[in-house]
Structure 1
Amino acid sequence: MAMTIKEKREICLSKFEEKRAETEKRTSADIEKYRKGRCRIQLKDQNGNPVVGKKIRVCQKTHDFKYGANIFMLDGFEKKEDNEAYREIFSRYFNLATIPFYWQGLEPEKGKPRYAADSVKVPRRPAPDLCLDYCQEKGIAGKLHCLFYESFLPDWLPKQDAAAMWKYYEKRFSEIAERYSGKLYEVEVINEMLCESGWKTQSVLCGERDIVERCFALASKYFTDDTLVINEANQIPLLAKQDYRNAYFMQLDMLLSHGTPIDKIGVQNHIFTGAAGPQEETIREAEGYFDPENIFRGLDVLAALGKPLEITEVTIPTLGDTPEDEELQAELLKEMYTIWFSIPSMRTIVYWNTVEGTAHATPNWNENNCRGGLFHRDFTPKKSGQMLKKLFDEVWHTELELVTDEHGIVDFRGFYGEYTLDLGTEMRSFGIHKDVDAGNEIIVP
């Protein structure tokens, strides 16, 4: 018998409701403390005297905090109008794009990498130049994903020859760095070292003890001024349960104690119910994700390592085809994003597959069955997409009308980002940023 919406909501939301008071107390306080900063604006006339009683308006235009998605479907649809629609919604909903650098798709033929925007198309693997051109046009940050990930290797590599493989990897790192270093928000160095049961079937490198250290050493050699990120799959419930005995925590603790140049710690949050079987049979396996206490505890454990954090890949499923099922997905997104956004060391949240029907799929694993998109196939936003936009455009957004005091000053707190200042007769631009030297003080003559 199919689960009712009441049963689904009980599984997914009961812990959030049960712990509502303590969750909201923590998130509201920490969002106010860590996501906003004080700004002081002083108006003076042409003689240097304060302008008293002047009405002004400040309006936030961008967020310093990065909220993005993978951009794997850029110009990847058969119809021109679909590609145009995808380009339009991406720039409206996100300020960061995860760009695919999977080796199998980037260099399917030896010595002929697909960097250029006009490269032959490969499904879900738009060329890096194409992605970065779009990002530059739209003011979106581009993220590299990822330098070392052996799940997607080209067939031509000598996978059983370790020495040869390292030479090819060094060539790959150096070539990509020469072309893209300094143009990226960050560089994901290595991906999913703890979750792949079949690692040693990919190449001999997967069995090497110091593989992570060597990859970061290579990355720091060539990406000298880039932010270097490590990424791992779906550890938050495990971190909450295992604390400092969690494998990912212990791996990171060891790596950092050895001086491995990890700048940022990434962790995924895929709830892949339905990918390998009926959703209703797998939803209870994901219950650990639906508890705010687990989310806080898991991320607090990672934060103890003293590095910035990132939720690198997010999938929140839709557990059916009804409007009520879509509403449940939207509510889950709100609950999770609010907690993630409140974590002091969190810097970035990246949703994964955004348009329904465009996710990774194999005969035994089909992420489309999770129905985790934020948009329907016709590019209209699901309720989850609407919720994401509401959070960053309305809830976590500063727009104020203020009046200068007897000193010509307005003093307020706003979310970190770029702003416009409407003086009535003219417009100015300014920013509120964390740890800026000027202390977010602006004098307008």
Structure 2
Amino acid sequence: MNNLDHRQQKLKVKILDGQEKSLKNEAVEISQTDHQFLFGCNGFEFVPYANNQLDSEAEANTEKYIEKFLDIFNFTTLPFYWGQFEPERGKPRTRELKNAAQFCQDNNLTVKGHPLSWHTLAPDWLLDLSNQEIWEAQLKRLKRDINDFKDLVDMWDVINEVVIMPNFDKYDNGLTRVAQAKGRINVIKELFAAAQKEAPKATFILNDFNTTAAYEILIEGCLEAGVEIDNIGIQSHMHQGYWGLEKTQSVLERFSRFGIPIQFSEVTMVSGELMPAHYVDLNDYQVENWPSTPAGEKRQAENVVEFYKTLYSHPLVKGITWWDLIDGQWLNAPSGLLREDYSAKPAFNELKKLIKDKWWTENKNLKTDAAGEIEFEGTLGEYTLKTKNKEASFNLEKDQAKIILNLS
């Protein structure tokens, strides 16, 4: 659990002076500027902010949110729920989401779009279509949005919660009917093939909350059918209590057997009373007031530290996304890292210590040798190298033993 060699790399840097000559016996400073690992949080609040849709009070509060967000995260998920994104057929909210994605890019946040297909929050206008027409509309939507956002979003949850999709019985949504007719694996295969044809270099994810053998069996079937899954997405909403170390390690062991990178795509832990265990669907628990408590905040912080350390120590995990930075969002739960007054909970402070201290490379003051070279070891990610008069940026990547930097 404590072996983090897979997150580190030794690197020799040969530094040239801009004229292709070695920079000998020169003092340099190496500073880490970002992680390669994706430490994320959903950023739905960015949408109204980036589109100037807030009054002055809400804008000021969102700026507090943004300051805290950028303090620790380098990755975000933006909402592409079809029914909200295109409530009226042919009139998607493309401009609004582009503005939000551009804001994220300007603030050095990698963006994931969530999701391209999901039976929940599907548009009502699908209900008037035949199965074939629904499927054609789904494929058209996927291709359109991947292309419209190709310069801003290169990571997508292709399909969300497909394990339950054919059996979903709370309301008709159109896509459930299609999944029943076509079968889950055929649905996944066609969607992934269409997505990869539009953007061969993008990252496409299969995402689900189901961590039982049913999800494993579905993944096995997809791989046997030739589906190229770039990342496995695993949701971990713990409103009813922290998984604990044993379950977390078990989930990692079971899903790592596929050898596919894993993202923990939606992580929640509450800092108040736990949701009663008898609720099967978390959405059925509806309360108006769900306060955070001192004891709950202490528990949340301890669980966050253990959970993140466990995931970060596993070589196949490439990202963790917290779900809702601030309390009172989904289900009114106290599942944020910030209270409703935007003050930081202990969990926020402890997570920041991990991301920006324990797992962060301290500034290194070095001196080039007679060959113009330095050597150092650091956490994988982005770095800046500075001399007295010049600087350059570079990426520290695994199994990259040497690079040449020509300072301009």
Range class of TM-score, shorter chain:
0.7 to 0.9
Partner of 2:350: 387
Aligned counterparts of 1:188 and 1:324: Cα–Cα separation in 2? 35
Greater Cα shift, 418-427 or 187-196: 418-427
Residue 171 to residue 406, structure 1, CA distance change in 2 (3 Å): closer
Post-superposition Cα deviations, 1:26-71, rounded to whole Å, max 9, x if no partner, equal x322x1x21111111346789967745x553311011111111111
Q: Is the 8 A contact 2:98 2:149 kept in 1?
A: no
Q: Name the CA distance, whole Å, in 1 between partners of 2:399 and 2:194.
A: 31
Kept in 1: contact 2:143–2:198 (CA 8 A): yes
Match of 1:144 among 96, 102, 113: 113
Contact 2:102–2:152 (CA under 8 A) maintained in structure 1? no
User: 1:433·1:440 contact (CA, 8 Å) conserved in 2?
Assistant: no
Distance 2:199 2:392 in 1: 36
Q: Tell me if the contact between 1:315 and 1:351 (Cα under 8 Å) persists in the aligned partners.
A: yes
The 5 Å alignment of 1:46-65 reads 51-52=24-25, 55-65=27-37
Structure 1 residues 402 and 205: alpha-carbon distance in aligned structure 2, compared to 1, 3 A threshold: same
1:318 aligns with 2:271: yes
Secondary structure of the 1:156 match is helix
Question: Is residue 401 from structure 1 mapped to residue 365 from structure 2 by the alignment?
Answer: yes
Counterpart Cα distance in 2 of 1:350 and 1:49: 42
> Given residue 305 of structure 1, which amino acid in structure 2 is its aligned partner?
F
Among 182, 185, 206, which residue is 1:230 paired with? 206
1:417 has 2:381 as partner: yes
1:37–1:413 contact (8 Å) kept in structure 2: yes
5+ long unaligned stretches in structure 1: 1-26, 118-127, 239-245, 274-282, 360-365
Aligned position for 1:66? 38
Q: CA separation in 2, counterparts of 1:197 and 1:47? A: 62
In 1, Cα distance between the equivalents of 2:261 and 2:372? Answer: 38
Letter in 1 for 2:206: I
Give the Cα–Cα distance (whole angstroms) in 1 for the partners of residues 261 and 43 of structure 2: 23
From the superposition, tell whether residues 206 and 199 of structure 1 become closer, same or farther in structure 2 (CA, over 3 Å).
farther
How far apart in 1 are the matches of 2:248 and 2:128? 38
**Relative to 1, partners in 2 of residues 1:205 and 1:324: Cα closer, same or farther, differing over 3 Å?**
same
**1:419, CA displacement in angstroms?**
1.3
Q: Which one of 187, 190, 202 corresponds to residue 159 of structure 2?
A: 190
Q: Does 1:349 align with 2:320?
A: yes
Instruction: Report the alpha carbon displacement of residue 132 of structure 1 after superposing the two structures with TM.
Output: 0.8
Q: Given that residues 234 and 270 in structure 1 are in contact (C-alpha distance below 8 angstroms), is that contact kept between their aligned partners in structure 2?
A: no
Q: Which residue of 2 aligns with 1:180?
A: 149
| In the alignment, structure 1 residue 116 sits paired with structure 2 residue 83 | no
Amino acid at match of 2:201: D
Equivalent position amino acid for 1:58 in 2: I
- In the TM superposition, residue 189 of structure 1 has moved relative to its aligned partner by 0.6
CA separation in 1, counterparts of 2:123 and 2:266? 23
Question: 1:186-242 deviations in whole A, cap 9, x for unaligned?
Answer: 11111112246952543311313122223223323333332111001051xx4xxxx
* Counterpart contact for 1:229–1:266, Cα < 8 Å: yes
CA deviation digits over 1:387-426, x for unaligned, max 9? 2222111111112233555765432211111212233454
Shift of the 49–139 alpha-carbon distance from structure 1 to 2, 3 Å rule, reads: closer
Measure, in 1, the Cα distance between the counterparts of 2:354 and 2:154: 22
Structure 2 CA distance for aligned equivalents of residues 134 and 196 of structure 1: 33
Give the CA deviation at 1:93.
2.5
Contact 1:216–1:261 (CA under 8 A) maintained in structure 2: yes
Contact 1:143–1:187 (8 Å) recurs in 2:
yes
Tell me if structure 2 keeps the 8 A contact 1:173–1:222.
Answer: no
Q: Does 1:251 align with 2:218?
A: yes
Kept after mapping to 2: 8 A contact 1:375/1:382: yes
Change (3 A) 1:294 1:377: same
**Match of residue 179 from structure 2:** 206
Q: TM-score, normalised by structure 2?
A: 0.83
Verify the 8 A CA contact 1:41 1:444 in the aligned structure 2.
no
CA apart distance, 1:135:
1.1
Please, what TM-score do these two structures have when normalized by structure 1?
0.77
Residue identity matched to 1:376: R
- The Cα of 1:435 is off from its aligned counterpart by 4.8
Q: Does 1:89 align with 2:60?
A: no
- Check if 1:102 corresponds to 2:81: yes
Shift of 1:297: 2.9
Larger mean CA deviation between 256-265 and 323-332 belongs to 323-332
* TM-aligned CA distance change 1:325 to 1:144, over 3 Å: same
The 8 Å contact of residues 36 and 414 in structure 1, kept in 2 or not, is answered as: yes
Q: RMSD over aligned Cα, in angstroms?
A: 2.6
SS in 1 for 2:2: helix
Superposed, which structure 2 residues align to 1:219-298 within 5 Å?
Answer: 219-235=195-211, 238=212, 246-273=213-240, 283=241, 289-291=243-245, 293-298=246-251
Whether contact under 8 Å (2:105, 2:152) holds in the other structure is: no
- 1:251 positional shift: 1.1
* Deviating more after overlay: 340-349 vs 294-303: 294-303
Q: How does 1:431-442 map to 2 (within 5 A)?
A: 431-436=395-400, 439-442=401-404
Distance 2:262 2:293 in 1: 35
CA distance in 1: counterparts of 2:28 and 2:224, whole angstroms: 51
Partner of 1:28: 2
Give the corresponding residue for 1:217.
193
Structure 2 residues without counterparts, runs of 5 or longer: 274-291
- Displacement of 1:96: 1.1
In structure 2, how many angstroms separate the alpha carbons of the residues matched to 1:158 and 1:261? Answer: 30
Check 1:175–1:50 CA distance in 2 against 1; reply closer, same or farther (3 A cut).
closer
- Pairwise CA distance, 1:429: 2.7
* Secondary structure of the structure 2 residue equivalent to 1:177: helix
Secondary structure at 2:126's aligned position in 1? Answer: coil
Q: Counterpart of 1:427 in structure 2: which amino acid?
A: E
Residue identity over aligned pairs, in percent, reads: 29
Distance in 2, matches of 1:328 and 1:41, equals 44
- For residues 407 and 296 of structure 1, the distance between their equivalents in structure 2, rounded to whole angstroms, comes to 46
Which of 86, 104, 129 is the equivalent residue of 1:135? 104
Looking at structure 2, the residues matched to 92 and 355 of structure 1 have their Cα atoms a distance apart, in angstroms, of 14
